[in-house]
Chain A
């Protein structure tokens, strides 16, 4: 059965002349898991918002959308709220009420269900989504992943036919993101709920999808099963965002079905001839030690647990150091100790140079109405640096109106204006799409070449593998393994990149897709 039938749909925002989406034709059948991919600004979000009447942005709409054969415009509000659920990117702001149970009940209350019905449904969905422990706790106590899960649960509580998700995992750490996506797949399998989801990072979601639609400049460039879409995107820029096995497949001479998962990738790799089976290790930069932490112990309260136990590490001048670790392992705490906002109760930090700190949310760096005012606040001679950063065009813009990548760049520009020697980054890739990440990575590398030292705390193994010089894994309050980037990831089995997982045992020291491709093609 058809759920959505989109006929010749175009949309132009009031603020622009360009069509955000252009002449889109497609159908979504009941029970589909449809993945929408495309670069930032390709019209993904616009398309998804058009499918939900209440969220349709202001602008000129052409063409029609039919929900179950009924024009979406003529759908009444009750029907729309009942049958189409929508989940956005930001886990925090979507939550309306203060308690978990009341959030679960919110949609049901709006639809006017009886108290007894609500009671039954709320308890059902709380147990289904794992909110039994935190049922009456306040939502502020939940982690980001749990919050997004709560959003999913409370949308599911009204039992919709379709759920539309706009980059739901971009603010989550990899483990929560995975959990979220597998829950989503379970819903799709168990209840037959139709899922329409857009994502930046495709490794974990690509194999879940029944069909993938790829948008470019507001137009559909591919619409097929995941494997066929991978094949048809060969040579296009969007290739870079696809899962590693598919990227390798498209870059070498290989035949048959396109692999998507690591398992399929290994199968493919074992069947083709390799040019070399080793990647040479990069030399460790040996600069003078610029920062050293010795035997640091830290806890937040007198009687609480130690967050850092006997933690020591050194960073050399001009190095790009990535500090990895699970949620709550103390990465951010360590960064806060380095920047001086927290004091360890034992241990020493030696650092004579000036450091600047970039928080997780780059918006927090900005407090003025235009970028120019904000940059001026730090240093009057900002023109040159802002040109280097490619920000000249945005000087009169409000910082919050910048896109994710631009905002990240602007925030780095602002803190670099105070001429620091060390840059401390907390999760700089959070919420960025693949292209923005590549830009950011290259950019940071250039800064390192100019003599800046970067210490980055991150979950993002792929990004660290591609761009950093040295990695450390923080576990149980101390750095348990530390090595140059290729050594680090090729020695790890679980905590490593999918390229490394895919090539383990076949190619030595390959940690990125490019490494593998180079080994095959020579």
Chain B
């Protein structure tokens, strides 16, 4: 189930733009922790749990690796742990590395969510609005590539079993050239089919199944408000030479809360819809 996905592409695009912007440019551990849990919980909802569990291990390794490598390259920081070749390894550099690793992990998870939510249809919608022809080419390519791979596989199998023992590389080369010839032949048929159906007439329109509803607008507005609120506080951390946590005044707390909500919106959405379903089913 993926109900968050059903929002209009514009709404979704801006949502991901906002969370990615803050995750990448804020460099604030608190923001990043919110983002991490928000994104991973959403990711768990839209893909299967096993994959998420495996990927969490990957992210933890990633964070540790970056944490360990940063002090080797950066010797800034007041709290010295030890010296390597007259270069200091500092606590601040370790913390900086951890935050950097977390930032990379969060960005990657958000991108993965983006990939799952933003399927080819939504990308086509963005392209189609301004470049309908480019959108068509994109869509044709999406059809063409799987066809190409399939026919390569078929030809290669046919060659392997046709009796003559060839080296694998030679067979691949032969199959490849045959695939190209075949796909050129097929392209002729495709172009005939396109012309027969009126491609090339003036004023081509673009059809997409999306409708920008009031619901989408509301959600977009909420995202914009939360995003702006996240930026109002003075939330920048200092890492060198001393790790300084910014004072927590009202504005800062407002920023944190806003971003916390913003990060968890997709997850809450999935949970809400899931609960609704269960409720409806129990009523039946």
Stretch at the interface among B25-33, B178-186, B262-270: B178-186
- Shortest distance between the CB of B162 and any CB in chain A (Å): 5
A415 contacts B163, C-beta separation under 8 Å: yes
A111 contacts B198, C-beta separation under 8 Å: yes
> CA–CA, A462 to B185, complex, Å?
31
Max chain A C-beta neighbours (<10 A), residue from B163, B201, B206: B163
> CA–CA, A170 to B81, complex, Å?
78
Question: Looking at the complex, which one of B132, B187, B201 makes contact with A77 (CB distance below 8 Å)?
Answer: B201
Chain B residue numbers with a CB within 8 Å of A417 are 163-164
> CA–CA, A230 to B221, complex, Å?
72
Q: Taking CB as reference atom, which chain A residue is nearest B189? A: A93
Chain B residue numbers with a CB within 8 Å of A363 are 178, 182
Known contacts A78-B198, A112-B205; A97 and B185 CB within 8 A of each other: no
Question: Looking at the complex, which one of B154, B193, B202 makes contact with A94 (CB distance below 8 Å)?
Answer: B193
Q: Does A273 contact B (CB under 8 A)?
A: no
Q: Does B155 contact A (CB under 8 A)?
A: yes
Q: Does A313 contact B (CB under 8 A)?
A: no
Please encode chain A, from 226 to 251, with 1 for each CB lying within 8 Å of some chain B CB and 0 for all others: 00000000000000000000000000
Chain A residue numbers with a CB within 8 Å of B164 are 377-379, 417-418
Considering the complex, which residues of chain B in the window 220-264 have a beta carbon less than 8 Å from any beta carbon of chain A? none
A93 contacts B193, C-beta separation under 8 Å: yes
> CA–CA, A111 to B164, complex, Å?
51
Q: Does B217 contact A (CB under 8 A)?
A: no
B201 contacts A78, C-beta separation under 8 Å: yes
> CA–CA, A187 to B181, complex, Å?
37
Question: Looking at the complex, which one of B162, B181, B185, B199 makes contact with A414 (CB distance below 8 Å)?
Answer: B162
> CA–CA, A106 to B161, complex, Å?
39
Known contacts A92-B186, A109-B207, A140-B147; A98 and B198 CB within 8 A of each other: no
Q: Taking CB as reference atom, which chain B residue is nearest A377? A: B164
- Shortest distance between the CB of A66 and any CB in chain B (Å): 20
Q: Does A384 contact B (CB under 8 A)?
A: no
How many A-B residue contacts, CB cutoff 8 Å?
175
Chain A residue numbers with a CB within 8 Å of B207 are 102, 105, 108-109, 115, 118-119, 122
Stretch at the interface among A81-89, A301-309, A513-521: A81-89
> CA–CA, A402 to B248, complex, Å?
80
> CA–CA, A113 to B190, complex, Å?
22
Q: Does A359 contact B (CB under 8 A)?
A: yes
B121 contacts A136, C-beta separation under 8 Å: yes
Q: Does B120 contact A (CB under 8 A)?
A: yes
A365 contacts B158, C-beta separation under 8 Å: yes
Chain B residue numbers with a CB within 8 Å of A113 are 205
Known contacts A107-B197, A364-B154, A418-B164; A55 and B140 CB within 8 A of each other: no
B200 contacts A92, C-beta separation under 8 Å: no
- Shortest distance between the CB of B204 and any CB in chain A (Å): 6
Question: Looking at the complex, which one of A99, A356, A414 makes contact with B139 (CB distance below 8 Å)?
Answer: A99
Question: Looking at the complex, which one of B142, B159, B203 makes contact with A112 (CB distance below 8 Å)?
Answer: B203
Q: Does A367 contact B (CB under 8 A)?
A: yes
Known contacts A52-B196, A367-B177, A367-B178; A114 and B205 CB within 8 A of each other: yes
Q: Does A4 contact B (CB under 8 A)?
A: no
Considering the complex, which residues of chain A in the window 43-99 have a beta carbon less than 8 Å from any beta carbon of chain B? 52, 54-55, 77-78, 80-82, 85-86, 88, 90, 92-99
B197 contacts A378, C-beta separation under 8 Å: no
> CA–CA, A85 to B194, complex, Å?
11
> CA–CA, A52 to B198, complex, Å?
12
A92 contacts B147, C-beta separation under 8 Å: yes
B136 contacts A97, C-beta separation under 8 Å: yes
Q: Taking CB as reference atom, which chain B residue is nearest A84? A: B196
> CA–CA, A113 to B205, complex, Å?
6
A88 contacts B162, C-beta separation under 8 Å: no
A/B interface sample: 10 pairs, CB < 8 A: A90-B189, A94-B193, A95-B190, A96-B197, A99-B121, A106-B199, A140-B150, A357-B161, A364-B159, A378-B164
Q: A94-B189, A359-B154, A418-B162 are in contact. List 15 more A-B contacts (CB 8 A).
A: A81-B197, A85-B197, A93-B186, A98-B120, A98-B139, A107-B198, A109-B205, A110-B197, A110-B201, A115-B208, A361-B154, A364-B158, A366-B178, A378-B162, A415-B162
Residues of A within 8 A of B (CB): 52, 54-55, 77-78, 80-82, 85-86, 88, 90, 92-99, 101-102, 105-115, 118-119, 122, 136, 138-140, 151, 154-155, 158, 339-341, 354, 356-357, 359, 361, 363-368, 377-379, 400, 414-415, 417-420
